[in-house]
């Protein structure tokens, strides 16, 4: 066979092999056709980004609420990082920084015998809760050029606890402001049926089924005439003891316990309002007649400023009725011979 003939045969064999290989490949790995393009950018007039729900950022609690709910004991732990430069006890000495007893509400750069930096001495104003929070967050930003070497406390809860501890070491601290209520979110208007459109069949029946049966709410409420007293009777004093933790910065509860920012609360249930020996009450509370009944304790704990406008109570109040009931049950457990509920 000539060279040309051999070349033709070789080429023919090669072509046959190509077809055989492709056929076998399709058997084991068939070609797939996409039903739609992998990337759809520009097909519908623009790039379609993947749908992604924007998670609503949870609003951070304001500093006033955090201070009201904070524990002075937690603040004492935070204050340990301050003890190298400050004392806190009444009459304590100045160190690198001034003594901090009675600092809440005092004039900034007020402490006698301490040489403040010009930056802080010229600041003006008082140590309000806002100013304390700003100072503790970033001393250099609050008063640029001051001598404070501490970088600040970035955790808001730690600052709130520390301020609560400073309150516990301040005689008659100013009240903690009540935070402004957040604006109510606008509710979308309920869509009305389109013209001629009828409500979905069975809609009225469904609404009726979802509404509580008549008298169901009354069945869940305390017995008629029981009111708050019935909640107290059903409450667990142990739960109230936990709620009392937020009161410990200003009050003691044990028999013979000392007064703090607020009076000792042993035997308070049924006692005359503003009657604890040795404690100087505000005129606002001293002018309230009557005794600490369950209902009056409830009103006081719910909103101290509304119960006795102008009083010195720095606590914003306990908004949860069940928690107030448990707290009153705990106070009753720490009262010798409390009066019967309902009196």
Whether 338 has a pLDDT exceeding 50, the answer reads: yes
Q: pLDDT category, 37, cuts 50, 70, 90?
A: very low
What's the pLDDT at 185? 46
Q: What is the mean pLDDT of residues 165-181?
A: 86
Q: pLDDT category, 249, cuts 50, 70, 90?
A: confident
What's the pLDDT at 15? 72
Non-local CB neighbours of 306 within 8 Å, separated by 6+ positions: 299
Q: pLDDT category, 302, cuts 50, 70, 90?
A: very high
What's the pLDDT at 203? 40
Whether 23 has a pLDDT exceeding 60, the answer reads: no
**Angstrom distance (rounded) from CA 272 to CA 65:** 30
pLDDT > 90 fraction of the chain, expressed in percent and rounded: 49
139, 91, 304: which is closest to 131 by C-alpha? 139
Whether 332 has a pLDDT exceeding 90, the answer reads: yes
pLDDT digits (tens, 9 = 90+) for 179-224: 765 554 444 444 444 444 444 444 444 433 344 444 333 333 343 3
**Angstrom distance (rounded) from CA 241 to CA 7:** 102
CATH of the domain spanning 63-168: 1.10.760.10
Residue written as tokens 């009459």? 91
What's the pLDDT at 333? 95
What's the pLDDT at 237? 92
Q: Which helix (H) or strand (E) holds 131?
A: helix 129-137
What's the pLDDT at 62? 85
Burial degree of 181 (CB within 10 A; 0-12, 13-18, 19+): exposed
pLDDT digits (tens, 9 = 90+) for 43-93: 344 444 444 444 444 455 689 999 999 999 999 999 999 998 999 999 999
**Angstrom distance (rounded) from CA 254 to CA 267:** 9
* Sequence ranges of the chain with CATH classification 1.10.760.10: 63-168, 223-333
- How many beta carbons lie within 10 A of that of residue 79, not counting itself? 18
Domain 223-333 grouped into CATH 3.40.50.970: no
pLDDT > 70 fraction of the chain, expressed in percent and rounded: 69
What's the pLDDT at 7? 64
What's the pLDDT at 215? 39
pTM over 0.85: no
291: helix, strand or coil: strand
Check residues 40 and 282 and name the one with the higher pLDDT: 282
pLDDT digits (tens, 9 = 90+) for 93-119: 999 999 999 999 999 998 989 999 999
Most confident of 46-55, 233-242, 307-316: 233-242
Could you tell me the two tokens for 205?
């029946």
């Amino acid at each position: 066979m000539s060279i040309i003939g051999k070349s033709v045969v070789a080429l023919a064999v090669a072509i046959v092999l190509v077809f055989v290989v492709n056929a076998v490949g399709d058997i084991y790995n068939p070609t797939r056709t996409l039903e739609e393009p992998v990337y759809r950018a520009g097909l519908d007039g623009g790039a379609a980004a993947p749908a992604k729900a924007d998670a609503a950022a949870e609003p951070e609690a304001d500093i006033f609420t955090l201070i009201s709910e904070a524990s002075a004991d937690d603040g004492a732990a935070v204050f340990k990082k301050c003890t190298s430069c400050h004392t806190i006890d009444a009459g304590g000495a100045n160190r690198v920084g001034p003594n901090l007893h009675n600092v809440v509400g005092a004039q900034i750069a007020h402490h006698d015998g301490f040489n403040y930096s010009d930056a802080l001495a010229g600041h003006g104003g008082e140590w309000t809760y806002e100013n304390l929070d700003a100072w503790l967050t970033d001393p250099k930003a609050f008063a640029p050029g001051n001598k404070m070497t501490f970088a600040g406390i970035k955790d808001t809860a730690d600052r709130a606890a520390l301020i609560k501890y400073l309150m516990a070491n301040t005689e008659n601290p100013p009240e903690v402001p009540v935070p402004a209520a957040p604006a109510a979110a606008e509710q979308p208007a309920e869509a009305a049926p389109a013209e001629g459109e009828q409500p979905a069949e069975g809609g009225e029946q469904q609404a009726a089924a979802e509404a509580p049966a008549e008298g169901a709410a009354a069945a869940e409420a305390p017995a008629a005439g029981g009111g708050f007293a019935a909640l107290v009777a059903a409450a667990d004093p142990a739960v109230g003891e936990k709620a009392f933790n937020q009161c410990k910065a200003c009050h003691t509860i044990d028999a013979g316990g000392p007064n703090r920012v607020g009076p000792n609360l042993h035997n308070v249930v049924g006692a005359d309002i503003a009657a604890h020996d040795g404690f100087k009450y505000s005129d606002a509370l001293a002018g309230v007649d009557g005794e600490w009944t369950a209902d009056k304790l409830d009103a006081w704990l719910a909103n101290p400023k509304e119960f006795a406008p102008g009083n010195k109570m720095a606590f914003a109040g306990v908004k949860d009725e069940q928690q107030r009931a448990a707290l009153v049950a705990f106070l009753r457990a720490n009262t010798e011979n409390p009066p019967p509920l309902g009196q």
